[in-house]
Amino acid sequence: MKILLTHSPEARALYYGDRALAALRKVGQVKLHEGPAPLEGEALISAAQGCDLIVSYRQSPGPAAVFARLPKLIAFLRCAIDIRNVDVPAASKAGVLVTQASAGFVTSVAEQVFGFLIDLSRGITRSTIEYREGRVPNAQMGRELKGSTLGVIGYGAIGKEVVRIGKAFGMKVLINDPYKKVKQVSLDKLLAQSDYVVPLAVATTETENLMDAKAFAKMKRGAYLINVSRGNLVDEEALEQALDSGHLAGCAMDVGRAPDQMPTPRLAARSDVIATPHTAGLTVPAIEHQSMETVAQARAIAKGRAAKGAVNAKHWTRKALLK
């Protein structure tokens, strides 16, 4: 079995790792992408010629052409949960199996949420920058998490962990998720009462710009927004206006609308914003969870089984190529 790993050398070191690569090599012959740019489009199709499997980094889309022009391709494995840039209907039409990884970054992302909360509340980054630039920062009153109100929008795996940790800090926690059976409040009430709002909803057409000008206007004056989910959830122009007006005290973001879901540099450079480059889920346990899952999927596929994480197993007709 021949396997293309689309990660660039830099991405491979951070997002796949030596242990997973060694394990993948026991499944089949692994072809590595050695270029610095993301492998996509014609470059991806060319690199994948003759390959049975593609193990895809998040910056390597799976458009219809990949499945139509690679007749030997059996499966497209995404080393991430997000498969929005994979044309699953086209893969199904071609008989190619598509898989996604499960969430291995719940702890990592939830912990970063509270790193953001503490930083926003105590001015840690602000003071550090002042000292590094040779100035003594002005002392400012901080805010304790204990007794503050945390609003969590979306009660999935990360949302549940954020709620658990928030309660451990002694915070009052409000939840809104119309698709979950959990004690919750309306979105309007959550926005109005929360000192910190953390949108963790899944990025869909329904949640596009969930946090827009109307939502920011409903938030408590002096509240903070923390986004570690997807940039699609936030109307960035409205966010900027809410910060400019002083209605929001600040924002923390690990994601945004720049390429690869990175924070938008203009927003990230603001003094009332703290930002990280889409790394909330970048810890060894989190990355190994997903990369080793693709290894397990490749093993199952090699044996002719629809792997755990398959999203179109009933359309997988190219498994006949394994015989």
Give the pLDDT confidence of 201-213 residue by residue, as tens digits: 988 899 999 999 9
Q: What is the mean pLDDT of residues 65-75?
A: 97
Q: What is the pLDDT of residue 38?
A: 87
Q: Flag whether pLDDT at 323 surpasses 80.
A: no
The pLDDT assigned to 308 comes to 94
pLDDT 10s digits, 163-203 = 999 999 999 999 999 999 999 999 999 999 999 999 999 88
Mean pLDDT of the chain: 96
Phi, psi angle pair for 242, to nearest 5° = -65, -35
pLDDT digit string, tens, across residues 118-156: 999 999 999 999 999 999 999 999 999 999 999 999 999
Phi, psi of 161 (to 5 degrees): -70, -40
At residue 27, does pLDDT exceed 80?
yes
Q: Which two tokens stand for residue 33?
A: 């992408």
Distances (CA, A) of 93 to 4, 316, 322: 22, 9, 18
Does the pLDDT value for residue 260 go beyond 90?
no
203, 85 Cβ separation under 8 angstroms: no
Q: Could you report the per-residue pLDDT of 76-93, keeping only the tens digit for each?
A: 999 999 899 999 999 999
Which pLDDT score is estimated for 35?
Answer: 93
Please provide the DSSP assignment of 264-299 as one string: PHHHHTSTTEEE-SS-TT-SHHHHHHHHHHHHHHHH
The tokens for 190 are 């959550």
Set out the domains of the chain in order of their start, with CATH numbers: 2-102+283-322 (3.40.50.720), 106-275 (3.40.50.720)
Entry pTM: 0.88
For residue 156, the one-letter residue type is G
CA 98 – CA 104 distance, rounded (Å): 19
CA gyration radius for the chain?
A: 22
CB 283 within 8 A of CB 109: no
The partner residues of 275 in beta bridges, in order of sequence, read 253
